Amino acid sequence: MIQTDILIIGAGPTGLFAVFEAGLLQLKCHLIDALPQPGGQCAEIYPKKPIYDIPGFPEVLAGDLVENLMKQIEPFQPGFTLGERADTIEKLEDGSFIVTTNKGTQHKAPIVAIAGGLGSFEPRKPLLENIGKFEDNGVAYMIKDPEVYRDKKVVIAGGGDSALDWSIFLADVASEVTLVHRRNEFRGALDSVEKVQQLKNKGKINLITPGEIVALHGEAHLESVLVRKKTTAVEDIKLEVDHFIPLFGLSPKLGPISDWGLEIEKNAIKVNTFDYQTNVPGVYAIGDINTYPGKLKLILCGFHEATLMCQSAYQRIFPDKKYVMKYTTVGGVSGFDGSKKEAPKAVVKAIE
Ligand SMILES: Cc1cc2nc3c(=O)[nH]c(=O)nc-3n(C[C@H](O)[C@H](O)[C@H](O)COP(=O)(O)OP(=O)(O)OC[C@H]3O[C@@H](n4cnc5c(N)ncnc54)[C@H](O)[C@@H]3O)c2cc1C
């Protein structure tokens, strides 16, 4: 069982910055995210788009913002459970919570901060009758650890950046990479399309277009797939494979959080604007996932909400300590250049 002070559901920009604000108050955080990497929408949807409304940054790429946030929270050593969706919450008699993921990982904390953005990103799955049987037995919808595919035969399906980028990457890892796309044109970046073409010419990627996977075969584990190639004539090709990775994109869903007994309005969690607590004491909702009069779905609003949430969480965890926040941060900040790992602190005067 993973134990922490603040359990943050969602490692988007809001959840990541909450770790910093909690760290200033010497509260430990652990983050759960359904995606295999931190960064939420910034990392998943628009890593190369510039953002112009982050204070102090006239322009910053979304991916770079995530990288900076990760650097900023490094001194506080947060824990991560990535590639798992928070599914259930249980309140214990002592007022703390246990949150369990779809993979059965349990987390215990006195405070739960939901920073789930648009909801958890769920993969779009191909309509293949027996695909469920092979999930985690040869079929995966996202790549968490590329080493799993070392010296294996892999088929990737899709026409966007993920399918192209992973095909390029795995060409040097897997023993055989086949990329199947239902059209001749790809939606991804032009230089990635060119790279795939070069790797095809070198015999490092087997490219099948236009085509689609129409059947999966195997006993307990996937053993082969049937690719239907649709040129002038239809041709069915049986490929012996160890892994099939359909990368058809992700769509966000509020998902299981909608059954947690929280007040929901238009797919968002209702909170007060004093400390962004929900109708369940000890459970907060910050960033894009919450709603209140005047709500704006912007990164800087998520940062503000995370800051106030942490102050309130501190008071819930230490109800007998009155404190006066004098300054925001002192010391240690120079450590952000990577030379020092000293954690910054807030000057908090705790009066027992
Ligand atoms: C194309 C585009 C451009 C944008 N440009 C700007 C801009 O210029 N400036 C700006 O301020 N904002 C911009 N935004 C909005 C901004 O990206 C969001 O406001 C911001 O990402 C919200 O951050 P968040 O951390 O609250 O949520 P998210 O970034 O959505 O992250 C939430 C995370 O929670 C995870 N999650 C949800 N539910 C669960 C669960 N049950 N279990 C596990 N994990 C879960 C998700 O997988 C996700 O990673 C833009 C958005 C888009 C789509």
Whole-number pLDDT of residue 46: 82
Identify the weakest region by mean pLDDT among 85-94, 251-260, 318-327. 318-327
Distance between alpha carbon 335 and the CA centroid of its chain, in Å?
Answer: 27
Could you check whether the bond before residue 210 is cis, i.e. omega within 30 degrees of 0? Answer: yes
Better-scored residue on pLDDT, 333 or 223: 223
- Which residues are annotated as part of the binding site for FAD? 14, 33, 41, 46, 86, 121, 288, 329
* Percent share of the chain, pLDDT over 70: 91
Q: What span, in angstroms and rounded, lies between the C-alpha atoms of 98 and 106?
A: 7
Q: What span, in angstroms and rounded, lies between the C-alpha atoms of 151 and 40?
A: 31
Structural domains for the chain: 2-121+250-351 (3.50.50.60), 125-246 (3.50.50.60)
Better-scored residue on pLDDT, 223 or 256: 223
Q: How confident is the model at residue 140 (pLDDT cuts 50, 70, 90)?
A: very high
Q: What's the mean per-residue pLDDT of the chain? A: 90
Residues in contact with ligand 1 by the CB-under-6-Å rule are 9-15, 32-35, 40-42, 45-46, 49, 51, 53, 85-86, 115-121, 255, 257, 287-288, 297-300, 302
Distance from Cα 6 to the centre of ligand 1, integer Å? 20
Beta carbons of 179 and 163 less than 8 angstroms apart: yes
Whole-number pLDDT of residue 299: 97
Q: Which helix (H) or strand (E) holds 169?
A: helix 161-170
Whole-number pLDDT of residue 42: 92
Q: Find, among 138, 135, 157, the residue nearest to 148 by Cα.
A: 138
The pTM of the full predicted model, rounded to 2 decimals, is 0.75
Q: What is the largest CA-CA distance in the chain?
A: 80
Closest C-alpha to ligand 1, atom 51 = 41
Q: What is the pLDDT of residues 2-59, one digit of tens each?
A: 999 999 999 999 999 999 999 999 999 999 999 889 999 999 888 878 889 999 999 9
Q: Does the pLDDT at position 333 exceed 60?
A: no
Average of per-residue pLDDT across 193-221: 96
Q: What is the pLDDT of residues 157-203, one digit of tens each?
A: 999 988 998 999 999 999 999 999 999 999 988 889 999 999 999 99
Q: Does the pLDDT at position 327 exceed 70?
A: no
Q: What is the pLDDT of residues 257-316, one digit of tens each?
A: 999 999 999 889 999 999 999 999 999 999 999 999 999 999 999 999 999 999 999 999
